[in-house]
């Protein structure tokens, strides 16, 4: 027998394709594997008729080699006068449209079954190969439980069996199961799932509850705990589109209170007489009071004074690390008068979303969380992000841990490189050299945990869901023929409706090894190539990553339009502890993930780039039980690292701000709180770029928040409604608008003109002057010196008394000059700012300065 190859390059998207498919279904048996094969065959047949093939059909002389590699072959009778592929297609189409099915059968000479698929030459190497992958796909094509639930969840069912399956199918299943097993949220004799409803999520919730399910619905998603014994029954629920296990993570740092001086919270409490009284903080994390023994207990925290005795437990789980209790301790350190409420976020995405709204309903004034779900969409607002925006719309500021993945992300446009069997493989090399492998190195015991997504909408967020199916693999050597697949994620994304693959792999070889990622689109599922692909590695242990793009890793609800995403800086790396400029933790997540779709799944005209990360708070501070003692700080208590620790510190500062605003009769919006924190933060550098990044950057946001300055800004309505004007290190002329402007001259002698409105003139360095400020309106405009004084190591509140600043009269034009002494001795005062038409007495009013 000879073979000729039919490249699979088109979709079943027109009447001709559907007619051909229906005809072929009449010829062949109606098994799922055959239908998949025929769907691919007919798609390219129709493309050939339309002249739309992206590559020429393969000539007979190359048939055997190419067929052995790609495998989708049709058998022909031997003979010297074989028709050309083009002529055969033309004749085949004619016969099909004429309904002459017996002639079609004779022409193809394939009988009533699909040709046996032999994808690659046999390999003598043990392990899971590409052959096993394709044969495994075929073996489970008609497995209803696997198709509805995916392999990892189906395998948890006591009714799941691989009895009677071949070695290739067993290898296929075991590879997928082992990839996800360690990350499933199993509790007792049950598992946490996210289920997507076909039509009625409330009816699906009721159906699931009849199976012993405990959870809730948000949008079309139903999340919660399901007994393992009920998994098999899921496939019989008519209103169930799909169900998958959840993949939740805590935003704890790589090492697992000193925040008071680092964030100036102690100064703020004393200066503004606030401690959080009458303000309620809602906390979302894994658990609050599940752990005892070495972790102590809530009762012991009450006895030691580390927590109040009236924390409201809205909902908890019976197993967890009690990270929520550790977060509560951090908040209580900074805002000891605040009321605390806890709600678990560890029961799936929909339940997390409902938990946010429950905290709003019981009166939370501020909400903070430190939980992420790896299967929440990168490029669209998922159900948790939607709930965050609802909370913020209700007037509640929302703080979320930005994440602890640094810049451990690959993101690029999908480039077709090679077609292998049922897959179009991505070309990682952007140049003319084809490379379908992305190599990386793992030491023994180290691993990768990947969330892989692409620019398709999620059915769990709303809308119809993904229209294509991508898979991701890890090979032990860069050879499709001899390489073993050591990790696999081959989720049916059409069935699940979510453009998501999860892959977890650990190097258990005992030696440092190179491994190789391959990404491909499954042609058996139809669709087109994606535009953008992206994965985030949540382990951060891989080295020598080829084609690294060092892209954003903060995603999901921290990237919601209404959320404040909080990065982390070690408390000892802040000015309060002797560091001139605060330094970002190396693991703090980089922002900048674009949004491609609205919540209904419609593609936006232009991708939306949101301001994430917003600002930074400190981590590494002490709790009574959570974390690991670093040994070089005061005391033997463990240190809590990660943006999980930074977020509650930022929330605590917001609590102090709200109490101060309440005492002043003000009713600030969440945006007022965010803006006051941003405008008074200490500038920081983005460690993922080579140059120093002045002002906002997506790693550190606006910088390290300062409680005292933020409260002062909020009470004095310093939020700019006009422009933010930044100069250069050369001489600049900056002219404001009629609104409230922020003006930053930076180096050299600048002319600064605020215009009308309540304007702010910012100074961050002793080298910023000498500036000439025109039209300064006393007690309306202000000079902000917080960052400048912090950079000098000044920690007091009266710099004029302490020798750092004084005012010199100047007779010309009734001017006054502000002078600065960088060491506070009073003997090196030099001119810093000259104010036109302002007397020294007018300028000396403390309301003119933020210090």
Say how many Å lie between the first and final Cα of the chain, rounded: 87
The secondary element (H helix, E strand) that includes residue 170 is: helix 167-180
Task: Give Cα 338 distance to the centre of its chain.
Answer: 30
Give ranges for CATH 2.150.10.10 in the chain.
Answer: 724-844
> What's the pLDDT at 313?
94
Greatest mean pLDDT among 94-103, 555-564, 721-730, 780-789: 555-564
> What's the pLDDT at 629?
62
CA dist 318 → 160, 187, 287, 294, 819 (Å): 27, 9, 8, 16, 61
**Helix, strand or coil for residue 529?**
coil
What are the DSSP E strand ranges found in 77-233?
Answer: 186-187, 190-197, 214-218, 221-227
> What's the pLDDT at 1?
19
Rounded Cα–Cα distance for residues 702 and 692 (Å): 13
The residue ranking higher by pLDDT, 388 or 8, is: 388
**Is the preceding peptide bond at 770 cis, omega within 30 degrees of 0?**
yes
> What's the pLDDT at 304?
85
Average pLDDT, the chain: 78
**Helix, strand or coil for residue 515?**
strand
Contact by Cβ (8 Å): 49, 93: yes
Rounded Cα–Cα distance for residues 269 and 263 (Å): 11
Structure tokens at 756: 């009308």
Structure tokens at 486: 């050591």
Tell me the average pLDDT across 703-726.
75
Tell me the average pLDDT across 111-135.
44
Structure tokens at 491: 């989720």
CATH architecture of 724-844: 2 Solenoid (2.150)
The residue ranking higher by pLDDT, 420 or 367, is: 367
CATH architecture of 409-537: Sandwich (2.60)
Contact by Cβ (8 Å): 706, 264: yes
Query: pLDDT tens-digit profile of 436-463?
Result: 999 999 999 999 999 999 999 999 998 7
Rounded Cα–Cα distance for residues 441 and 110 (Å): 46
Rounded Cα–Cα distance for residues 190 and 204 (Å): 18
> What's the pLDDT at 114?
29
Task: Give Cα 297 distance to the centre of its chain.
Answer: 32
The secondary element (H helix, E strand) that includes residue 108 is: helix 101-108
Query: pLDDT tens-digit profile of 204-262?
Result: 999 999 999 989 999 999 998 888 888 888 888 988 888 888 877 765 443 336 778 88
> What's the pLDDT at 709?
86
Residue 179 predicted with pLDDT over 70: no
Alpha helices in 594-706 (DSSP H): 643-663, 670-679
pTM over 0.85: no
Residue 37 predicted with pLDDT over 60: no
Out of 253-267, 386-400, 749-763, least confident range: 253-267
CB atoms within 10 A of CB 761: 27
Quote the radius of gyration of the chain (alpha carbons, Å).
31
Q: Cα-Cα-Cα-Cα dihedral of 723, 265, 698, 589, to 10°?
A: -170
CB atoms within 10 A of CB 25: 15
What are the DSSP E strand ranges found in 508-547?
Answer: 513-522, 532-537
Rounded Cα–Cα distance for residues 297 and 681 (Å): 36
Of the options 3.40.1350.10, 3.30.1280.10, 3.40.50.200, 1.10.287.610, the CATH number for the domain spanning 258-405+557-716: 3.40.50.200
> What's the pLDDT at 382?
95
Collect contacts of 791-796 with beta carbons under 8 A, ≥24 apart: 791/575, 791/580, 791/581, 791/764, 791/765, 791/766, 792/766, 792/822, 792/823, 792/824, 793/575, 793/578, 793/580, 794/824, 795/261, 795/576
Give ranges for CATH 3.40.50.200 in the chain.
Answer: 258-405+557-716
Residue 22 predicted with pLDDT over 70: no
Contact by Cβ (8 Å): 699, 779: no
Rounded Cα–Cα distance for residues 306 and 318 (Å): 22
576-611: burial string, b at 16+ Cβ within 10 Å, e else: beeeebbbbbebbbbbbbbbbbbbebeeeeeeeebb
Residue 203 predicted with pLDDT over 50: yes
Contact by Cβ (8 Å): 148, 120: no
Residue showing tokens 């948000």: 218
Closest CA to 607 of 622, 621, 592, 620: 592
CB atoms within 10 A of CB 295: 17
Rounded Cα–Cα distance for residues 801 and 798 (Å): 5
Dihedral-angle region of residue 463 (phi above 0 means left; psi in -120 to 50 means alpha; beta otherwise): left
Q: What length does the chain have?
A: 851
Closest CA to 550 of 446, 686, 385, 683: 686
What are the DSSP E strand ranges found in 538-640?
Answer: 564-570, 594-597, 603-609, 615-619, 621-622, 639-640
Confidence of residue 628 (pLDDT cuts 50, 70, 90): low
Structure tokens at 462: 């709303």
Contact by Cβ (8 Å): 569, 582: yes
**Is the preceding peptide bond at 613 cis, omega within 30 degrees of 0?**
yes
Helix axis angle, 707-715 to 643-663, nearest 10°: 40
Closest CA to 70 of 422, 527, 483: 422
Confidence of residue 814 (pLDDT cuts 50, 70, 90): low
Closest CA to 445 of 546, 374, 587, 542: 542
Residue 120 predicted with pLDDT over 60: no
Structure tokens at 109: 């000479």
Residue 173 predicted with pLDDT over 80: no
Rounded Cα–Cα distance for residues 773 and 796 (Å): 26
């Amino acid at each position: 027998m000879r073979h000729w190859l039919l490249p699979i390059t088109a979709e079943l998207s027109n009447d001709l394709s559907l007619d051909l498919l229906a005809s072929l279904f009449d010829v062949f048996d109606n098994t799922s594997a055959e239908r998949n094969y025929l769907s691919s065959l007919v798609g390219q047949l129709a493309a050939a008729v339309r002249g739309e093939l992206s590559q020429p059909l393969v000539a007979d002389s190359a048939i055997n080699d190419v067929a052995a590699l790609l495998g989708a072959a049709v058998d022909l009778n031997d003979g010297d006068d074989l028709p050309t592929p083009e002529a055969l297609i033309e004749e085949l189409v004619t016969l099909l449209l004429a309904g002459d099915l017996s002639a079609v059968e004779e022409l193809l000479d394939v009988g009533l079954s699909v040709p046996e698929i032999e994808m690659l030459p046999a390999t003598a190497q043990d392990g899971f190969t590409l052959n096993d992958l394709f044969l495994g796909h075929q073996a489970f094509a008609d497995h209803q439980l696997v198709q509805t639930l995916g392999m990892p969840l189906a395998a948890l069912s006591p009714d799941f069996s691989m009895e009677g399956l071949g070695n290739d199918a067993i290898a296929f299943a075991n590879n997928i199961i082992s990839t996800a097993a360690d990350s499933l949220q199993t509790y007792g004799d049950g598992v946490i799932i996210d289920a997507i409803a076909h039509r009625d999520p409330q009816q699906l919730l009721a159906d699931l509850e009849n199976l012993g399910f405990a959870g809730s619905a948000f949008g079309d998603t139903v999340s919660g705990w399901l007994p393992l014994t009920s998994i098999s029954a899921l496939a019989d629920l008519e209103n169930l589109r799909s169900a998958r296990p959840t993949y939740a993570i805590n935003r704890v740092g790589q090492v697992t209170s000193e925040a008071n001086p680092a964030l100036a919270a102690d100064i703020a409490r004393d200066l503004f007489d606030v401690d959080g009284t009458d303000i309620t903080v809602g906390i979302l994390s894994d658990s609050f009071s599940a752990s005892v023994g070495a972790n102590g207990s809530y009762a012991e925290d009450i006895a030691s004074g580390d927590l109040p005795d009236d924390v409201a437990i809205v909902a908890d789980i019976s197993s967890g690390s009690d990270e929520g209790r550790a977060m509560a301790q951090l908040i209580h350190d900074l805002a000891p008068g605040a009321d605390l409420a806890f709600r678990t976020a560890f029961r799936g995405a929909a339940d997390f979303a409902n938990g946010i709204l429950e905290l709003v309903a019981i009166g939370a004034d501020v909400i903070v969380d430190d939980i992420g779900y790896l299967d929440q969409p990168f490029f669209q607002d998922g159900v948790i992000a939607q709930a965050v925006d609802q909370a913020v719309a209700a007037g509640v500021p929302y703080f979320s841990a930005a994440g602890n993945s640094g810049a451990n992300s690959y993101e690029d446009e999908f480039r077709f490189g090679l077609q292998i069997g049922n897959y179009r493989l991505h070309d990682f090399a952007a140049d003319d050299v084809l490379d379908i492998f992305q190599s990386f190195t793992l030491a023994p015991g180290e691993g990768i945990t990947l969330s892989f997504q692409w620019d398709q909408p999620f059915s769990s967020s709303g809308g119809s869901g993904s229209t294509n199916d991508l898979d991701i693999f890890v090979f032990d050597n860069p050879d499709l023929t001899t390489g073993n697949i050591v990790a696999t994620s081959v989720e049916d994304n059409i069935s699940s409706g979510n453009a998501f693959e999860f892959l977890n792999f650990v190097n258990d070889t005992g030696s440092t090894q190179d491994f190789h990622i391959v990404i491909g689109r499954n042609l058996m599922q139809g669709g087109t190539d994606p535009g953008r692909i992206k994965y985030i590695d949540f382990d951060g242990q891989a080295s020598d990553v080829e084609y690294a793009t060092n892209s954003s890793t903060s995603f999901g609800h921290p990237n919601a339009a209404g959320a404040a995403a909080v990065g982390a800086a070690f408390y000892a790396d802040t000015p309060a502890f002797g560091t001139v400029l605060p330094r970002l933790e190396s693991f703090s997540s980089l922002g900048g993930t674009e949004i491609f779709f609205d919540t209904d799944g419609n593609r936006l005209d232009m991708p939306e780039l949101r301001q994430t990360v917003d600002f930074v708070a400190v981590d590494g501070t002490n709790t009574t039980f959570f974390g690991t003692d670093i040994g070089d700080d005061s005391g033997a208590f463990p240190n809590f690292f990660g943006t999980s620790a930074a977020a509650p510190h930022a929330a605590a500062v917001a609590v102090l701000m709200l109490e101060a605003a309440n005492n002043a009769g003000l009713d600030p919006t969440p945006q007022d709180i965010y803006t006051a924190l941003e405008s008074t933060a200490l500038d920081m550098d983005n460690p993922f770029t080579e140059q120093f990044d002045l002002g906002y950057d997506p790693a550190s946001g606006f910088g390290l928040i300062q409680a005292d300055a933020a409260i002062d800004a909020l009470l004095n309505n310093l939020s700019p409604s006009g422009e933010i004007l930044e100069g250069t290190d050369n001489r600049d002329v900056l002219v404001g608008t009629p609104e409230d402007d922020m003006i930053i001259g930076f180096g050299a002698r600048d002319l600064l003109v605020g215009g009308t409105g309540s304007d702010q003139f910012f100074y961050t360095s002793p080298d910023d002057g000498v500036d000439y400020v025109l039209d300064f309106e006393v007690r309306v405009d202000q000079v902000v010196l917080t960052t400048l004084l912090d950079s000098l190591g000044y920690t007091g509140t009266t710099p004029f008394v302490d020798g750092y600043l004084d005012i010199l009269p100047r007779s010309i034009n009734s001017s006054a000059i502000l002078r600065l002494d960088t060491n506070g001795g009073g003997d090196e005062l030099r001119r810093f700012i000259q104010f036109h038409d302002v007397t020294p007495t007018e300028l000396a009013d403390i309301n003119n300065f933020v210090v």
